Structure 1
Amino acid sequence: MTANLYGIPTCDTVRKARKWLTDNGIDHQFIDVREDTPPKSQIDHWVASLGAAKMVNKRSTTWKNLSDTDRAEAESGDTTAVLLANPTLIKRPVLEYGDVLDVGFSVDAYTHYFQQ
């Protein structure tokens, strides 16, 4: 089974996750959300499964440049629409692997997910 890892290639956390997957021989596909934004249905699933608070990257430059209206919408309104319009707001990396859906990178978590 191939893992899907979503993010942007310049993100340090994404780089760490990609390196860990490669170093551990995990078959994976990297999807750059700026080049290939996930469809609305997929982002809806992420937000429904993990919650808006976990999916929105409030530390990003994009967040800091958003209007107050867009910030409010991202936090308690149509989070998916804001993430589709601003894919760099998606907290990263997003990992999809079988039943696993997670955001961020932790060696312990990835080790658990990919136990043989």
Structure 2
Amino acid sequence: MALTFYWYPKCGTCRNAKKWLDSHGIEYKEIHIVENPPSRSELEELYKNSGLDIKKFFNTSGQKYRELGIKEIVKTASEPELLDLLSSDGMLIKRPLLTDGNKVTVGFKEEEYEKTWA
């Protein structure tokens, strides 16, 4: 299955991930995460397939995260509430997100990409 790459073109980390994918000849479909964020059901599937804590899906360094006080919200909110919040704004989602429909990586770490996608 082809890879789906959710990214934000102005994000340096996303550009580094894209460079890595291109240099390894890996084909992917790119999706602008702010203009076309994953739906709530897509996010739920990504989260469940990732095996990660749902908090790892939040862009904790983003302005929106700070503005909305999400650091406090995630302490007490339920999983469905957090998924609703994530799906409300693509800027809240940590990027890039890369998936083949089964495996998922959140953010970009070269070692993790090597292990998962090379």
TM beyond 0.5: yes
Which ranges of structure 1 fall in alignment gaps of 5 or more residues? none
Report how many aligned residue pairs link the two structures. 113
- Superposition CA RMSD, Å: 1.8
Which ranges of structure 2 fall in alignment gaps of 5 or more residues? none
What pairs up with 1:75-90 in 2 under 5 angstroms? 75=75, 76-77=77-78, 78-90=81-93
The question of 1:41 aligning with 2:44 is answered: no
SS in 1 for 2:9: coil
Whole-Å separation in 2 of the counterparts to 1:72 and 1:45? 25
In the other structure, the counterpart of 2:61 is 59
Residue identity matched to 2:20: W
Q: CA deviation at 1:74?
A: 4.3
TM superposition score normalised by structure 1: 0.84
SS in 1 for 2:35: coil
The question of 1:6 aligning with 2:6 is answered: yes
Q: In 2, are the aligned partners of 1:13 and 1:105 still within 8 Å (CA)?
A: yes
Q: In 2, are the aligned partners of 1:52 and 1:74 still within 8 Å (CA)?
A: no
Whole-Å separation in 1 of the counterparts to 2:82 and 2:47? 8
Q: CA deviation at 1:72?
A: 4.1
